[in-house]
Structure 1
């Protein structure tokens, strides 16, 4: 298939923005996505990997350091998306494996993630990759 999992690089912004919009359903402006990627890519607490097929970005994962006062350090998956036409080909598993490897390299106790209650197919995917449900949560937000 000619697939490659690699670190994010300049030029991947359009593909990541499209995945956020079309796969994850987030209407976040392209210009803001570009700015965020430029900032987070320079931060060693973040890791952004892309899945590329024939020089086209068809998936990505964003992991970050997760530290709290009541648990060991983990890596936290902030976003994972694979274009619908490329799902069920191992790209999502390969992207997860990239963040898992980073976690092992840096001494993290594991990888955690939060997935929307309505994303039942994603839940089945994560469970198939060895992730276990830990608890239900309610997400609160205050914006200004």
Structure 2
């Protein structure tokens, strides 16, 4: 059975491995600092089965462009060996439930253009493409 829960300190090494799979390497000390800096408008959950982390979702709630708050998925990663097994859907549904409870009317995310499999997953869950994300390094 897969359990969803907030991360604990002992999860950091496995979380780091999941973020590496997503293409965002981070040191354990940096990840610990990021988790410690979470605000009340943030949520991080891990999916665990038999002491192994299968996935992570991180969301942020904000309200500036819209009439009500919007929840943005900042991170969603499922272990490569556990993909297509329902873990991503469980994490996303838990994030959506949190967002609804927080008064959000929209759940949004960005995804790299190269992540075609992820796009199909999101579209299968009702997401639609509505914009273009641009960025620049500072």
Report the TM-score when normalising by structure 2: 0.93
Query: Would you say the 8 A contact 1:13–1:37 is kept in 2?
Result: no
Query: Would you say the 8 A contact 1:19–1:81 is kept in 2?
Result: yes
List gaps (5 residues or longer) in structure 2. none
Q: Kindly report which structure 2 residues correspond to 1:39-118, keeping only aligned pairs within 5 A, or say none.
A: 39-40=37-38, 43-118=39-114
Paired residues, number = 138
RMSD of aligned residue pairs (Cα, Å): 1.3
Partner SS state of residue 81, structure 1:
strand
Compare 118-127 and 66-75 and name the one that shifted more: 66-75
Structure-2 separation of matches of 1:70 and 1:51? 30
Query: Would you say the 8 A contact 1:67–1:74 is kept in 2?
Result: yes
Structure-1 separation of matches of 2:66 and 2:2? 39
Query: Would you say the 8 A contact 1:20–1:26 is kept in 2?
Result: yes
Query: Would you say the 8 A contact 1:60–1:80 is kept in 2?
Result: yes
Partner SS state of residue 133, structure 1:
coil
Q: By how many angstroms is 1:136 displaced?
A: 2.4
Query: Would you say the 8 A contact 1:49–1:61 is kept in 2?
Result: yes
Compare 45-54 and 6-15 and name the one that shifted more: 6-15
Report the TM-score when normalising by structure 1: 0.89
Query: Is residue 26 from structure 1 mapped to residue 24 from structure 2 by the alignment?
Result: yes
Q: By how many angstroms is 1:36 displaced?
A: 0.8
Structure-1 separation of matches of 2:72 and 2:65? 15
